[in-house]
A and B are shown apart, each in its own frame.
Chain A
């Protein structure tokens, strides 16, 4: 049997926390190192190439991180909603099952 022991408030808080971290990171420039890679700045073709490679790696890492955090935050937020809804629905269903013919009870 699938076992669940979840606190929807905690899930929602975690989702909000993740969202905050995502926003904070999203503001950071993914082209951070590109300025240094310009020939006038580095003054050396080899150094420019290395900086360009590093800038590319950072851009990929940054985008992946922001994407992953965004996806996780959205997933947790959605999970909190779904679980909250399911819990409410189950409680109402149980109330209907166990509470006889009375309708409108909300556990």
Chain B
């Protein structure tokens, strides 16, 4: 019992609150000091990375990446400790105040209980006195239970503590009659009530302090739990945001993950409602790095596909194209952007290995069901949305590895290629955005794998064509070739050349065969061949000699033009590039298929223009020793090369007249691929030629916009000879003209290139490869 006779409170109740604010402050200080040490460590790591960045070695580059990751980890851990310290300090302040309030309440309650005990005793005593007087028959007895309600009592005169029949002092009556006894009792009861009220108020204040502490502890616990998610901390710190956001973001992400299985099962209407909730949560946190950090730590791509994709009722086979869009829209553009941005935010705090793994899972999870007729087509779109080109290269590297696995394991008869088309396009976009990755994947260091890579990426296409017109795949090819061909490393150049060799065989049956090839894709392919024009004339000449019907000659060997390289100083001024082995027949198909429209053909014309200009620069430069020879051989070789390209551009025009083309036209029309696929070739080129206003010399004018030249296509053989031969001849003559050189000597040096002569050398040189490529004799085999 308490002093006032009240029952004792339950255990812990009205006792000092547990917890030690000072202990928490000590831990917070230690955490801050550790965070400072982590910051120092990070500074050292960044210094180490800076020193490693100037080193050149693959192994050291890898070490540098690891140092970067460790520096990020140090920053994240330091941020986590700082945030924890801040939370603990805040909590300690609240705890301290709550402790003080509770302590005060306990003391006040004790004091009130003491008063209660005293006044209880006084009341008991007064009551006894009153009843004694009443029992003795004294008049004017008061009902003690009526209590004291005013400043005076009936029949009494109270004034400043004085009483007419007695005196109140020191908490008790010094004298009294019946009225006095009643008054004494009333005062005792009043004070007793006040003491009890004070005790109750103190208990209430104690409970308020306890509740404040409990709520503060709950909030601190939630905040500290969020900090335990190291990735979320990294995300929020990388974004420069307040770690306090972690709590709400983490909770929302966990709620979203919890929705995934519910959105994938149950009645359609319930699933629809959950899907809408999920969409709402994902969209609301589109730009919240902590949300995505927690989300992708717990969610798997497969779960997301199950939750968001809808299988059309009764579907028994893959439904793609517009019908598939109607039956299963998968996700709209808005949600697609949200998902892509989410992975992007996640990737900012993920290690390269983690990025690689997620890329692999995004593709692996969707490829696992690609061959099943029951897999909703929307899954591939969702997977594609998770792979925007802006993601780090490591994500796309993992994604392409998973694609390669699927490609190897798939059955040729299954329809998984059609199903996965959006994913393949997304990965191709990623490769195109990361040229070095494109190079490593399409032209791998292990050159035994190049043929397979070229076949997969360039020798295959969905039956209905690429939804983007082949742009992404063509850009990836162009990016890969560009990396290798512009590298100073001959090994890299050889890898790119090998890719082009295989691509030349693969493209006509894959990317270039698919309906709906976009001009932009054709242009990317054409530009990829630009470094290799010097090999085209040779290929055409060697393989074009089939009149003896002894069988096709093999293509010339790949490598460098050693004759050109032999000129001292030549390679420094005009870097040579390792050339591919080009099959002239396949090359003709590539050039023909990529010059079907004026816009596409203009790319090839740009290639030959630049090649002619560069050749002329070579031929008239100081590195060609005019006393020994002139630039004439270079010009002659260039005309041969340009003839091969120009002939290739005409190939389909000639073929259009043949029965084979009729068959292909019929096929195209039957396939519903639209009009003009093959009609365009001859018509576009003819129109362009008729519009051409004389020989275009734009390649000699550095100021002339290249687009002007690209808008016209010179399909006519004579017109194309006129485009290049006279200008190159005149430039050579001008270069070789010397006061000490006679006209006869000049004629001997360059006269053979005079295009004005009938049957001149330049025309013959050009014509040979042009004819070979535009209307070749097929090998008799």
Contact = CB atoms under 8 A, between A and B. Distances in A.
Interface in A62-88: 62, 64-65, 68-69, 72, 75-76, 79
Contacts of A72: 63, 66-67, 70
Interface in B243-301: none
Contacts of B41: 21, 24-25, 69
Interface of A: 1-7, 10-11, 13-14, 17-18, 20-21, 24-25, 28-29, 32-33, 35-36, 38-44, 46-47, 49-51, 53-54, 56-58, 61-62, 64-65, 68-69, 72, 75-76, 79
Contacts of B214: 44
For the complex of A and B, the 6 pairs showing the least CB-CB separation, nearest first, are: A43-B19, A5-B56, A44-B217, A50-B221, A43-B18, A36-B27
B217 A47 contact: yes
Contacts of B45: 18, 21, 69
Nearest to B24: A36
B748 to A, nearest CB: 45
B10 to A, nearest CB: 17
Given A47-B217, A58-B77, A79-B60, A53 B225 contact: yes
Nearest to B23: A41
A53 B48 CA distance: 33
Given A50-B224, A65-B70, A10 B51 contact: yes
A72 B346 CA distance: 26
B84 interface: yes
Interface stretch (B32-40, B128-136, B359-367, B553-561): B32-40
Contact of B17 (A5, A43, A65, A79): A43
B31 A33 contact: yes
Centre residue among A6, A10, A29, A42 by max chain B CB count within 10 A: A42
B12 to A, nearest CB: 11
Contacts of A6: 55-57, 60
Contact of A24 (B37, B76, B77): B37
B18, B37, B95, B224, most chain A CB atoms within 10 A: B224
B33 to A, nearest CB: 8
28 contacts: A1-B489, A1-B491, A2-B58, A3-B56, A7-B55, A11-B60, A21-B44, A24-B41, A25-B38, A29-B30, A36-B27, A41-B20, A43-B217, A44-B214, A47-B218, A47-B220, A51-B221, A51-B224, A54-B80, A57-B227, A61-B76, A65-B70, A68-B70, A72-B63, A72-B66, A72-B67, A76-B63, A79-B59
Given A5-B56, A44-B217, A53-B224, 18 more contacts: A1-B489, A5-B55, A6-B56, A11-B60, A17-B44, A18-B44, A24-B40, A25-B37, A32-B34, A36-B24, A43-B20, A43-B95, A44-B221, A46-B221, A47-B218, A47-B224, A54-B228, A61-B230
Interface in B474-497: 489-491
B589 interface: no
Contacts of A43: 17-20, 95, 213, 217
A40 B59 contact: no
A13 B51 contact: yes
A36 B227 CA distance: 15
A17 B20 contact: no
A37 to B, nearest CB: 9
A40 B73 contact: no
B225 A50 contact: yes
B70 to A, nearest CB: 5
A76 to B, nearest CB: 6
B664 interface: no
A3 to B, nearest CB: 6
B220 A61 contact: no
A56 B19 contact: no
B221 A4 contact: no
B209 to A, nearest CB: 12
B75 to A, nearest CB: 11
Contacts of A76: 63
Contact of B228 (A13, A56, A62): A56
Given A61-B77, A69-B70, A42 B217 contact: yes
A41 B228 CA distance: 19
B27 A41 contact: yes
Interface of B: 17-20, 23-24, 26-27, 30-31, 34, 37-38, 40-41, 44-45, 47-48, 51-52, 54-60, 63, 66-67, 69-70, 73-74, 76-77, 80-81, 84, 88, 91, 95, 213-214, 217-218, 220-222, 224-225, 227-230, 489-491
A41 B44 contact: no
Q: For chain B, what secondary structure do more than half of its interface residues adopt (helix, strand, loop), or is it mixed?
A: helix
B220 A50 contact: yes
Contact of B55 (A1, A10, A41, A44): A10
A95 B224 CA distance: 64
Nearest to A34: B27
A29 B80 CA distance: 15
A10 B51 CA distance: 7
A4 B34 CA distance: 38
A40 to B, nearest CB: 6
Contacts of A41: 19-20, 23-24, 27
Nearest to A56: B228
Contacts of A40: 18-20, 23
A68 B353 CA distance: 15
Contact of A4 (B48, B52, B56, B84): B56
Contacts of B91: 47
Contacts of B229: 57
B80 A42 contact: no
A28 B217 contact: no
A76 B221 CA distance: 42
B19 A42 contact: yes
Nearest to A49: B221
A58 B59 CA distance: 30
Nearest to A1: B491
Tell which of B40, B41, B217, B220 has the most Cβ of chain A within 10 Å: B41
A68 B230 CA distance: 17
A34 to B, nearest CB: 9
Given A4-B56, A17-B48, A24-B41, A75 B31 contact: no
B56 A68 contact: no
Contacts of A3: 56-57, 489
B47 to A, nearest CB: 6
A53 B502 CA distance: 56
Nearest to A57: B228
A18 B48 contact: yes
A10 B53 CA distance: 11
A32 B55 contact: no
B351 to A, nearest CB: 11
A18 B30 CA distance: 23
Given A56-B228, A65-B74, A33 B84 contact: yes
Contacts of B19: 40-44
Contacts of A10: 51-52, 54-55
Contact of B27 (A2, A4, A33, A79): A33
A40 B77 CA distance: 26
B34 A64 contact: no
Given A21-B41, A50-B222, A39 B18 contact: yes
Contacts of A64: 73
A106 B37 CA distance: 46
Nearest to B55: A6
B63 to A, nearest CB: 6
B561 to A, nearest CB: 21
Nearest to A44: B217
Nearest to A73: B48
Residue of A11, A44, A64 with most chain B CB atoms under a 10 A cut-off: A44
